[in-house]
Structure 1
Amino acid sequence: MGISKRYVIVLAASCWAALGQALAADCNSLLNPFNQAVDEARETDAQALIDKIAGSNDCARYQIPAQTRLAALRLSAAQILMARGRPVEDYERLLTAAETPEVLWQASATLGEVRFGERRFAEAAQAYDRAIGILNNMTLTPARPERFEIEGLISRAGQARLLAANVKMADGSTRFVPTARDHRDGTIGGMYSRSVRGITPQSIPIPITFEYAKTTFTAVGEEAARELAEVLKEQRPERIELVGHTDIRGSDETNMKLSAARAEAVAAFLKEAGVSAVIETKGVGSSEPLKLVDSSGLGQDDIYALNRRVEFVRP
């Protein structure tokens, strides 16, 4: 899946410089050995020093920059092993340790890619949400990532949720993955965010699933529809559009009718749930398949699942 190259670590200079600007002797006694430990790739020693930094009243302000630098070291080491084609178990500890403090969006995004490749789609969706939350936090991510990186994360979060809602787990069940809450105001964030560093997600695939060839929601589909209703009541848009899609199986006429009817079923649910926005609906059948930058590791049934969707489109 190209995961070792997808999220290359590029940290803002301010993040690195913050650890070199502490003039207080008490802080330098912690920061200097920490920097040396990172330079020498002694991550255990570096982690122990972070714990001391966090517990110091004078130096606690350097905790996040220190965590970010150590996370970058661990992620870089994990990515080297990925690039060499090593199995996940060889770098999972490094990657998990890099992601745990939730300070480096590339670590969460890379973990999302690993879980996606393992077909652990629910965990992948959650990791992508964390990545979106971190990069949307200007304290943690002072320099805005490139537009394609932000849009790629939003898209991948949607794909992972669609697959989690459609692909059966070992016990034969599928799963609805609630979208993470925005740390700033508690509203639903992730792919539903009003804005991710100035970029508004325009067309969002909703993991609303239906009974075969019907407009009746599955249990997972109803949960997804309830979440969409909550998003719309929080954000209060004046107008939205719901676009129904199908996979390529079946006749064009049948697919057009089914996709339109499913979009209308979602609109009816939202209205009954108290959504006040003007809702326009349309069906496009199988004429607009989901655009996939990377389909490696996905089978034909996965592609069908990604194409059976209702999209929430902002004006």
Structure 2
Amino acid sequence: MSRVVVMSLPPPGRRAALKQGAAAALFSFLLPLAPVAAQTPCADRLEAFNRAVDAAPDEKAQAGVDALVADPRCGGFVIPAQRRLAAARLARAQKLPAGADDPYYLALVMEADKPAVLWQAAATLAESAFARRSFAEAAKNFDRAIDIVGNETMTPKAPPRETIEGLFTRAAAARLLAVNMGQRLYAAAATRDGKLGGLYAPRVRGVEPRAVPMPITFDYRSANLTEQGRQAAAELARAIREQRPDAVRLVGHTDPRGGPDYNQKLSVERAQAVAAFLKENDVEIPVEPEGVGAREPLALDDMSGLSQEDVYALDRRVEWRRDAP
């Protein structure tokens, strides 16, 4: 499984320090927007915006962005300005003495995320929801972070590969934990081309997720899909129909409770159940189900706040494998 690297501007004391590459990327957004020639129609607006952000990322800075938005001559500066203000708000949240415990913290992060131009803001909201065990909300925001990373206009410089892989893994874990707790998942969001994005994206800035854990649940000790499991399997069917791979591998997993022979049999039966569902839902691509029992637990680098039952929930999964057998 891909190693999880959380690069989401975590609250002080809750997550490991940011790696240097991601910190540098955020710092670059904090720099003033490049000056333009004095005769350029937007020069005065840009200068006023930069001064306002340098002073404090508050209402005056937001007014500077709004002025750029309102001027059709300044369209090319809008997203960079939104990104700079978002980064400033996020950095300000991180500097609060009480960190995530400060009541102002979440408001600042939400303001930073509002224009949806900074993946770190979406990922920070996701981690905050994950810490509160609002796993469905976390999954939604991790998906948005992935999509913002994939948008080269919003994210001109891609984060490191391990960061993108970490976002995929956290998104999958949040979905698995959400269904285990009975939280209703948000429908997977579509990208601008109308296809499923987020966790289902086939490729993000050169990174192809090789194993995608699906939040497909089953009745206790059986291979019968639950209602929510059928909904998740339907999303998987849609993603496969959209991406049309040559073949699909489904790998069933169980938690370690139960004997090895029982777990192996159950993991195969569950993978076969999903394969049958896909065939019934117009997936014409060959599907290869297999099972590995409890031999490949899903490991996260950071298990803080998770119970033993949560860990079992991560182990119980059916993965869509894009790699060769």
The normalised TM-score by structure 1 is 0.92
Deviation of the 1:42 alpha carbon: 4.4
Which residue identity lines up with residue 180 of structure 1 in the other structure? A
Q: Deviations over 1:57-100 (max 9, x none)?
A: 1123211111111000000011223x754415230110000001
Q: List gaps (5 residues or longer) in structure 2.
A: 1-13
Deviation of the 1:208 alpha carbon: 0.2
Which of 165, 179, 182 is the equivalent residue of 2:191? 182
Q: Note if 1:124 corresponds to 2:138.
A: yes
In 1, distance between residues paired with 2:33 and 2:55? 19
On the 8 A contact 1:12/1:143 being kept in 2, the answer is no
Q: Note if 1:311 corresponds to 2:304.
A: no
Q: Note if 1:90 corresponds to 2:101.
A: no
Deviation of the 1:5 alpha carbon: 3.5
Which residue identity lines up with residue 178 of structure 1 in the other structure? A
Deviation of the 1:159 alpha carbon: 0.6
On the 8 A contact 1:240/1:313 being kept in 2, the answer is yes
The normalised TM-score by structure 2 is 0.90
Q: List gaps (5 residues or longer) in structure 1.
A: 169-173
Q: Note if 1:71 corresponds to 2:83.
A: no
> What residue is the counterpart of 1:295 in the other structure?
303
Which residue identity lines up with residue 51 of structure 1 in the other structure? D
1:250/1:42 Cα in 2 relative to 1: closer, same or farther (>3 Å)? closer
> What residue is the counterpart of 2:287 in the other structure?
279
Deviation larger for 17-26 or 238-247: 17-26
Structure 1 outlier segments of 4+, above 6 Å: none
Q: Deviations over 1:119-165 (max 9, x none)?
A: 11111111111111111111111111100100000111111111111
On the 8 A contact 2:29/2:87 being kept in 1, the answer is no
1:260/1:154 Cα in 2 relative to 1: closer, same or farther (>3 Å)? same
Which residue identity lines up with residue 142 of structure 1 in the other structure? P
Which residue identity lines up with residue 265 of structure 2 in the other structure? K
Q: How does 1:210-229 map to 2 (within 5 A)?
A: 210-229=218-237
In 1, distance between residues paired with 2:98 and 2:18? 12
Q: Note if 1:203 corresponds to 2:211.
A: yes
> What residue is the counterpart of 1:54 in the other structure?
69
Deviation of the 1:261 alpha carbon: 0.3
Percent identity, aligned pairs only, is 47
In 2, distance between residues paired with 1:141 and 1:262? 39
Deviation of the 1:17 alpha carbon: 6.4
On the 8 A contact 2:211/2:320 being kept in 1, the answer is yes
Say how many residue pairs are matched: 308
In 2, distance between residues paired with 1:4 and 1:130? 22
1:14/1:219 Cα in 2 relative to 1: closer, same or farther (>3 Å)? closer
Q: Note if 1:145 corresponds to 2:167.
A: no
Partner SS, residue 5 of structure 1: coil
Deviation larger for 133-142 or 201-210: 133-142
1:124/1:3 Cα in 2 relative to 1: closer, same or farther (>3 Å)? farther
Deviation of the 1:280 alpha carbon: 1.1
